[in-house]
C-alpha cells in the first residue's frame, strides 16, 4: 500500500538513504532536515510496503512551484509512485499558478513523466549540469 507523507524529523534519515540509492547528487539528512525550517518547502516522502520508496522536493514562492528533485527506488519504479507524489503536491498547492523544473536532456524517463503530467518544454540551459556536462531542459506547467 502506498502512503505519502510530508518530510519530518522522523523520516529525513530514510529519505536521505533512498536519495543516496537513486541520485548522483544525493540529499543528505542535514540538507533534508534544514528544509523543515523553510516555510516554502513542501517535500513529500512516499512509503510503499512501509518502506521509504520515493521523495519529491518542491518549493512554492509567490504562486510559482519549483520541483527541485524527485526520485523513486529502482525496485519500485513504474508503479505510479512518482505520479502519485505529483498528484498529492498538485492538490496541496492547488493555488500555484505555474510549475517549473529542470531536467537533464538525456533523462527520457523523467521527461516522459513530466510530459504526462502536463509539463511542456519551455527552454534550455546550455551545459547546466556537470559530470557529465549536459544541457538542462526547462519544463513548465501553467
Ligand atoms: C523519473 C522517476 C522519478 C520516475 O518514477 P516512477 O515512480 O518510476 O514513475 P511512475 O511509475 O509514476 O511513471 C509515471 C509515468 O512516467 C513515465 N515514465 C516513468 N519512467 C519511465 C521510463 N523509464 N521510461 C519511459 N517512461 C517512463 C511513463 O509515462 C509512466 O507512466 P506508465 O508507467 O503508465 O507508462 C524515476 O525513474 C527515478 O527516480 N529516476 C532517477 C532519478 C531522476 O532521474 N529524477 C528526476 C530528476 S529531474
Going from the C-alpha of 85 to that of each of 61, 91, 128, 137, 139, the distances in angstroms are: 19, 10, 26, 21, 18
CATH class of 1-96: alpha beta
Tens digits of per-residue pLDDT, 84-104? 999 999 999 999 999 999 999
Tell me the β-bridge partners of 101: 67, 139
In the predicted model, what is the mean pLDDT of residues 20-48?
Answer: 94
Mean pLDDT for all residues in the chain: 96
Which residues are catalytic, by number?
102, 114
> How far is 132 from 100, CA to CA, in rounded Å?
23
Query: What is the number of the ligand 1 atom nearest to the C-alpha of 23?
Result: 42
Ligand 1 site, CB within 6 A: 22-23, 69-72, 77-83, 103, 107, 109-110, 112-113, 116
Output the pTM of the full model: 0.97
Amino acid at each position: 500500500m502506498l502512503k505519502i507523507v510530508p518530510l519530518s524529523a522522523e523520516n529525513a534519515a530514510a529519505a536521505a538513504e533512498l536519495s543516496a540509492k537513486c541520485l548522483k547528487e544525493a540529499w543528505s539528512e542535514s540538507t533534508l532536515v534544514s528544509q523543515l525550517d523553510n516555510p516554502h518547502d513542501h517535500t513529500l516522502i512516499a512509503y510503499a510496503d512501509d518502506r521509504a520508496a520515493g521523495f519529491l522536493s518542491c518549493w512554492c514562492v509567490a504562486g510559482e512551484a519549483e520541483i527541485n528533485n524527485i526520485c523513486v527506488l529502482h525496485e519500485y519504479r513504474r508503479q505510479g509512485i512518482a505520479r502519485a507524489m505529483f498528484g498529492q503536491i498538485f492538490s496541496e498547492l492547488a493555488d500555484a499558478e505555474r510549475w517549473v523544473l529542470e531536467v537533464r536532456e538525456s533523462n527520457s524517463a523523467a521527461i516522459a513523466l513530466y510530459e504526462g503530467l502536463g509539463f511542456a518544454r519551455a527552454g534550455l540551459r546550455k551545459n547546466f549540469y556537470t559530470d557529465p556536462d549536459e544541457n538542462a531542459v526547462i519544463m513548465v506547467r501553467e
